[in-house]
């Protein structure tokens, strides 16, 4: 067995133990999560949508029944919650009750985007603006729990970590789906990125007005290199070879325009908003590093899903009761779109404690928690 894989298996085992038995005091009082299927933990379970994962083999390595996570085990934010010292996982907004909201909620929704129409091809979901509205309602509930003491409430909210990861679906399930959406006919990639960032900025400003002060913004990864794109990408004239796979360079260039603007937005918030600390998680560069150095991270399969159908197991997501690959820790991708638990552990650790500006800037999440 390769040394990298041994290390990864040890990390997986340790994380599962600490998830169950950790009694470490959390570094922050609460953790709020906004995003799409990469971090959704069950908010889509009971709505009319194709974008849900509350059936096996999803969650096959999760310690409880299929929870609605779009991977085989824990998501990136599950791992981040553990690294931040939370004994229990952050609950989904759809299943939260009473005072447990004080330690945070997960508002993420599979198929969600920055634009309202994004993801409608898959059915119901909660777009980013609606997730922010759910947070607004949660703040009102917390105000009642604090018996109207706005000073205590503001102090509590200012110490929390807010993770936001949006934008992937605005490209996958909108702009680059011209048969169903007109945005690619209406806007150039640069104009579209600007419009998305304007929406993003408005919603993040609303979160700031509601009390968010420590915000981690995750950029979009190399979605031109996910198994879904590799499976459908037949026109090689616009593509670039990457480690034996053919990525859709057109999509990756559009993503880079958005991510560049996202970095500028983070810097602008840090310079203009009082008492705020925004950080940027560079998922794009982190994913490039993982692919380029896959063996050192324990991965031997980087171009196909552990489960799925068709070329690269990337034409659709996992079918109900489908048998996935056996050695899931060696796969970077769980299905056509989503990372495995093993990959989520790597991404979470990079975001939490990396000292490289190519992973996270201007500080990592551990430093953000202490700031």
Catalytic-labelled residue, pool 37, 287, 329, 330: 37
Tokens for 217? 């913004």
Catalytic, 37? Answer yes
In the prediction, which pLDDT does 11 show?
Answer: 56
Q: How many domains does the chain have?
A: 1
The predicted model scores a pTM of: 0.92
In the prediction, which pLDDT does 6 show?
Answer: 46
In the prediction, which pLDDT does 235 show?
Answer: 43
Catalytic, 134? Answer no
Domain of residue 172: give its range. Answer: 3-370
Nearest-angstrom CA–CA distance, 34 and 217: 10
Catalytic-labelled residue, pool 249, 303, 335, 359: 335
Catalytic-labelled residue, pool 286, 338, 354, 359: 338
pLDDT digits (tens, 9 = 90+) for 39-85: 999 999 999 999 999 999 999 999 877 689 999 999 999 999 999 99
Place of tokens 């169903």: 180
Give me the CATH number covering residue 300: 3.40.50.1110
Name the DSSP letter for residue 308: -
Q: Among 152, 94, 81, which residue's Cα sits nearest to residue 345?
A: 81
Structural contact between residues 235 and 270, judged by C-beta atoms closer than 8 angstroms: no
Nearest-angstrom CA–CA distance, 131 and 47: 15
Catalytic, 354? Answer no
């Amino acid at each position: 067995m390769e040394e990298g894989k041994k290390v990864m298996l040890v990390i997986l085992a340790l994380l599962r133990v600490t998830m169950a038995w950790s009694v470490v005091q959390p570094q922050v009082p609460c953790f709020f999560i906004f995003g799409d299927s990469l971090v959704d933990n069950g908010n889509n379970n009971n709505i009319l949508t194709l974008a849900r994962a509350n059936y096996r083999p999803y969650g096959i390595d999760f310690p409880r029944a299929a929870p609605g996570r779009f991977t085989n085990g824990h998501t990136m934010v599950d791992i981040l919650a553990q690294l931040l010292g939370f004994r229990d996982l952050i609950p989904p907004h759809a299943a939260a009750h009473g005072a447990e909201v004080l330690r945070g909620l997960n508002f993420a929704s599979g198929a969600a985007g920055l634009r309202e129409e994004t993801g409608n091809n898959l059915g119901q979901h909660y777009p980013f603006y609606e997730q922010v509205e759910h947070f607004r309602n949660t703040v009102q509930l917390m105000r009642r729990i604090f018996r109207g003491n706005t000073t205590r409430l503001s102090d509590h909210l200012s110490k929390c970590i807010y993770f936001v990861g949006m934008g992937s679906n605005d490209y996958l399930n909108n702009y680059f789906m011209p048969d169903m959406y007109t945005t690619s006919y209406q806007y150039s990639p640069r104009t579209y990125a600007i419009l998305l960032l304007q929406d993003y900025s408005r919603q993040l400003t609303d979160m700031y007005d509601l009390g968010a002060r420590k915000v981690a913004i995750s950029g979009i990864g190399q979605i031109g290199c996910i198994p879904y794109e590799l499976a459908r990408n037949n026109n090689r004239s616009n593509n670039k070879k990457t480690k034996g796979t053919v990525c859709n360079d057109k999509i990756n260039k559009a993503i880079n325009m958005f991510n560049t603007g996202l970095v500028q937005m983070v810097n602008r918030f840090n310079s203009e908003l009082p008492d705020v600390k925004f950080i940027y998680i560079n998922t794009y560069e982190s994913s490039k590093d993982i692919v380029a150095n896959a063996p050192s991270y324990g991965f031997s399969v980087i171009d196909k899903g552990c489960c799925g159908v068709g070329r690269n197991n990337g034409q659709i997501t996992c079918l109900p009761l489908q048998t996935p690959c056996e050695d899931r820790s060696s796969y970077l991708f769980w299905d056509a779109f989503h990372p495995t638990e093993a990959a989520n552990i790597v991404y979470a650790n990079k975001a939490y404690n990396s000292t490289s500006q190519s992973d996270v800037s201007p500080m990592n999440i551990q430093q953000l928690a202490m700031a």
